[in-house]
Chains A and B, each alone.
Chain A
């Protein structure tokens, strides 16, 4: 028996909106610690990790660990039927083949039940090692989304380089090239507008902008985004979910092949 009551139902809506573009089907794992998901995109380039800790729910009952395979698009469709202020309750029986989403309006005068069929999904759970990242950039999520959007209109890849000066996003395309440098800026009034760079050593990595733009679908979840970079490791783009968890996107970098280019020049 599973029963999770989330007062801020809009969070779940936003979470689904943020990951459904990247992942079609995924297993939601429920345990006593929380509600989590890990899934790769179809091309195995990016990985999504979601965690909603049990403390964040008003009521959290999970008798035994349960994994529910869902089509995220279908789930998003159902969650779209919930109002932004609605209380969402997720209910499932052990061994059942459906999950029920219950939406209660804030005034309790409207209660909707949506039952969704579950599916069997073969998923490989990946172990993500704890790593010391060479550089961690915290910046306003909207700013990051803007940069990714802008750069994707010029090129397909973005080179993210972190130096003492700041973090540089650059791209090259047919029509030209672009460089955007964000300097460390902690002196603003609002902490969510600050750009903080925590760098141990300079990093420069190349990523496909297509995926970065998918990640920025999570922008509504959090005011700030943290980008953790390490050479030869996937970048981690993390959006915190209101004190109760996070959505993390991992993206494998593009492998540089500069030596092949040299003879040409």
Chain B
């Protein structure tokens, strides 16, 4: 077994030295093939014995020099000078093959090149990986006081180590791949590397002089290493958290209140709009009405009214996609408009008769409308609770009081009353149409009309406004559309979608033909 292994090594070394012209030193050999340094030296020795021709050897001589003060000396010499160098040593000196190469390099430093690259790669390995440099396992000299990182558990890490070492070929590409992956680790490795070097130096000191003070130094790097070690582990944890779906959760745990609230909040807001709005809006109307009664100031309340109605309009936007019926019914008042303006006038008269209030001028009407709307809604409150169909037709304007009667008596007529009530708007500057749909949502529309415009034009304006309110996205195209047309669009349930499926929008395919 050992024999065949050695044979393999022989071949490897032969090819490395012969073909790749690499300097194969015992250190490199030991690290690369995971054999002890003594074993590596032995292999090299064998190799040299077998292939002496065509190769250059560098020997390492170590022993005491022949001088007055005995000094322990280690020297590297080339093959031809071996005998000469041996003379300088006192008595016996150990002669070992340091390295084998195709030719003696001009620059002695290149002897270390391969070693250096190899050592660098080993240092660059993640500190969690225990490699032969870290645990110093192949060194012939060891010191029991030196504590290695990774708990010195060389046995445990032996398996991954050999793997990594195999992967860690002499090529540099490996290190290139590794380094960008984790710069932080690299820096830590460097920190590790320094202490390692320190240990080496210290060791050589011990070897050479036997200085015991060095022990302190040995401990220091070990401590540094220990400090450095926890870092990578913690760093590993962080990305692990991030990669998992826990990231959101951890944020939420930091700002539990902030993150927890908005999430349920958004649906809540919508919820309010849809469900509680109808319940609230009558109250709003009530308060508005009370305010109106207290002070007769028109303009301020116009503003407040408009705002409230805006909110209610939003409700319509959100849900028009779902209830197309609403849209249709919203626009439906337009049909009677066109049929006869006479109707509307009659209706107007009716309402003005029925309402106990007197209309001196159209200007005043504005405020009246609002007042009435308020009272109307007050009156409607109980009704709504009972029959949703009644409240469905809730209408503001002069006709509201009329509707009060009709609603109470015969809810089925509601639609008509709405329609009739609508035409009366031409005489007013502002009309608010309130309606409760099947789902109990209140829909208020504010319509502005010019005083100077004729009877017909205001009609158009009103329709436009209904369009613009139901059609949030498509208001401008709607303005140009005749009421009938706009109704058709509304009937399609267009709204925001109608913006895209605008019938007036040309299709590019009608201009360019397919190739």
Residues in chain A within 8 A of chain B (CB atoms): 40, 43-47, 124-129, 155-157, 171-174, 208, 210, 233-234, 250-257, 260-261, 263-265
Contacts and interface: CB of A to CB of B under 8 A. Distances in A.
A145 B416 CA distance: 49
A126 B482 contact: no
B504 A126 contact: no
Contacts of B512: 47, 126-129, 234, 250
Given A155-B476, A156-B475, A260 B505 contact: no
B507 A44 contact: yes
A30 B514 CA distance: 20
Given A252-B505, A260-B482, A233 B511 contact: yes
Contacts of B409: none
Given A173-B476, A252-B505, A254-B502, 11 more contacts: A126-B515, A157-B477, A210-B499, A250-B508, A250-B512, A252-B506, A255-B504, A257-B481, A257-B504, A260-B485, A261-B481
A129 B504 CA distance: 23
Contacts of B485: 260
B508 A45 contact: yes
Interface in B435-485: 456-457, 460, 465, 468, 473-477, 479-483, 485
10 contacts: A40-B509, A44-B509, A126-B508, A126-B509, A156-B476, A156-B477, A234-B508, A234-B512, A260-B481, A265-B457
B507 A252 contact: yes
Nearest to B464: A174
A261 B502 CA distance: 17
A109 to B, nearest CB: 12
Contacts, number: 95
Contacts of B475: 156, 173-174
B177 to A, nearest CB: 13
Contacts of B500: 43
B510 interface: yes
Contact of B474 (A46, A156, A263): A156
A208 B465 CA distance: 20
B499 A254 contact: no
B195 to A, nearest CB: 30
* Nearest 5 CB-CB pairings of A with B: A252-B506, A156-B476, A126-B512, A155-B476, A127-B515
Contacts of B506: 45, 234, 252-255
B487 to A, nearest CB: 13
Which of B473, B483, B504 has most chain A Cβ within 10 Å? B504
Given A47-B508, A156-B474, A126 B460 contact: no
Contacts of A129: 512
A19 B414 CA distance: 51
Contacts of B508: 40, 44-47, 126, 234, 250-252
Nearest to B467: A174
B4 interface: no
Given A208-B502, A252-B508, A264-B456, A127 B476 contact: no
B514 A127 contact: yes
B356 interface: no
Nearest to A152: B476
A124 to B, nearest CB: 5
A254 B505 contact: yes
Nearest to A47: B508
Contacts of B502: 208, 254
Contacts of B245: none
Contacts of A156: 473-477, 499
B515 A172 contact: no
B513 interface: yes
Given A40-B508, A43-B500, A252-B508, A264 B460 contact: yes
A128 B511 CA distance: 8
A64 to B, nearest CB: 19
A127 B508 CA distance: 11
Given A44-B507, A126-B512, A252-B510, A261 B480 contact: yes
A125 B514 contact: yes
A7 B513 CA distance: 36
Contacts of B468: 174
B476 A126 contact: no
A124 B474 contact: no
Contacts of A255: 504-506
A208 B477 CA distance: 9
A255 B505 CA distance: 6
B180 to A, nearest CB: 10
A216 to B, nearest CB: 18
Contacts of B460: 264-265
Interface string B342-374: 000000000000000000000000000000000
Contacts of A45: 505-508
Nearest to B448: A174
Contacts of A261: 480-482
B122 to A, nearest CB: 26
Contacts of A155: 476
A171 B511 contact: no
Contacts of A251: 508
A125 B514 CA distance: 6
Nearest to B485: A260
A157 B511 contact: no
Contacts of B476: 155-157, 171-174
Contacts of B483: 264
Nearest to A252: B506
A263 B484 CA distance: 12
Contacts of B479: 172-174
A126 B460 CA distance: 41
Contact of B511 (A43, A252, A264): A252
A226 to B, nearest CB: 19
B474 A254 contact: no
Nearest to A40: B508
Nearest to A158: B476
A171 to B, nearest CB: 7
Contacts of A127: 512-515
Given A172-B476, A261-B480, A126 B513 contact: yes
B495 to A, nearest CB: 13
Nearest to A126: B512
Nearest to A254: B504
A251 B510 CA distance: 11
Contacts of A254: 477, 502, 504-506
Contacts of A40: 508-509
A172 to B, nearest CB: 6
B143 to A, nearest CB: 42
A129 B468 CA distance: 38
Contacts of B473: 156
Contacts of B481: 257, 260-261
